[in-house]
Amino acid sequence: MPRHFVVPLPGDRRLQLGARTLVMGIINVTPDSFSDGGDLLDPARAIEAGVRLAAEGADLLDIGGESTRPGALPLSVAEELRRVLPVVEGIASRVSIPLSIDTYKAAVADAALARGAAIVNDISGLRYDPALADVVARRGAALILMHTRGRSRDMYEQATYHDVVDEVLDELRQSIAFAQTAGVNTNALLVDPGFGFAKQAQHSYDLLARLDELSGLGRPLLVGPSRKGFLTRPLSGEVSTTARDWATAAAVTAAVLGGAHIVRVHAVGELLPVVRVADEIRKYHRAPTG
């Protein structure tokens, strides 16, 4: 079983991790995300989607306004705020589960936290906008530090590793240390290995197979394999993003058995039974002897 953690959230709330794997639902308020870009660009539709995912059993919701798919162009702060703030406010008024704002920009995080978000999900591990750490510390929010290298336009140019697990561990340690120096509560930090970000398919599979090694960071682990391109590597022919949910189920199962505390997925209702069965299997795991 994974280690148990209590992650503090604003408003004297707590996120209990370890007893079961939590499911984070994805709300992409974008016209160009790789999986569902454009589907939820209208705030009303995005809010209804969040309410639906919560009803399906999501434990958390992650709301993002900028696509970070490979090759995506950066979004202005003003446009990102225009997209996400109505959605954060609308969902926060209708559901009780914690909301995460998927951004690397300090200004966006600050505004979203003021309107009901409790977690910041930073794909850059504090490498794009270091001021984000100050916002998180001041707001008393939780912070997810994801591993990546470079920007969306050039991340694959930096996907060169001698040992991907060791290097991801080292670079996440650097992000943790930066957050701590900025005054972020260590108990409020989570980590994400960043499947598909500055990683070729073989790197993501190596990380997934050795996920338990990331427990050495001493922080809760979030895993986001949902519909990612690396899942199509063993498959023949073209596989649409929505048709990748079966492959996602396999990756989610491996993640749970590898010690993930949270899995981030698009199809909450479909994948929730997968997570629960994987949790049940994990209860019976015994470490090898001899």
Positive or negative: CA dihedral 285, 54, 38, 245: positive
Tell whether the model's pLDDT for residue 270 goes beyond 90. Answer: yes
> What does R_g of the chain's alpha carbons equal in angstroms?
18
Q: At CA 51, angle to CA 45 and CA 57, rounded to 5?
A: 135
Tell whether the model's pLDDT for residue 32 goes beyond 60. Answer: no
How far is 154 from 77, CA to CA, in rounded Å?
Answer: 21
Structure tokens at 224: 């986001």
Structure tokens at 19: 């007893």
Give the mean pLDDT of 239-245: 80
**Catalytic residue annotation:** 228, 264
Point out the least confidently predicted range of 43-47, 55-59, 253-257. Answer: 43-47
More confident residue, 237 or 60: 60
Tell whether the model's pLDDT for residue 35 goes beyond 60. Answer: no
Q: What is the pLDDT of residue 71?
A: 67
Give the CA-trace dihedral at 244, 250, 251, 254, to 10 degrees.
180
3-state secondary structure of 6: strand
Q: What is the pLDDT of residue 289?
A: 65
How far is 67 from 51, CA to CA, in rounded Å?
Answer: 22
How far is 42 from 31, CA to CA, in rounded Å?
Answer: 10
Give the mean pLDDT of 137-148: 98
**pLDDT tens digit sequence for 207-222:** 999 999 999 999 999 9
Contacts of 243 (CB under 8 A, 6+ apart): none
Neighbours of 1 (CB within 10 A): 11
More confident residue, 226 or 32: 226
Edge-first strand listing for the sheet containing 60-64: 189-192, 142-146, 119-122, 99-102, 60-64, 22-28, 262-265, 222-223
More confident residue, 150 or 132: 132
Q: Find how far residue 218's CA is from the centre of its chain.
A: 17
Q: Which CATH class is domain 5-283?
A: alpha beta
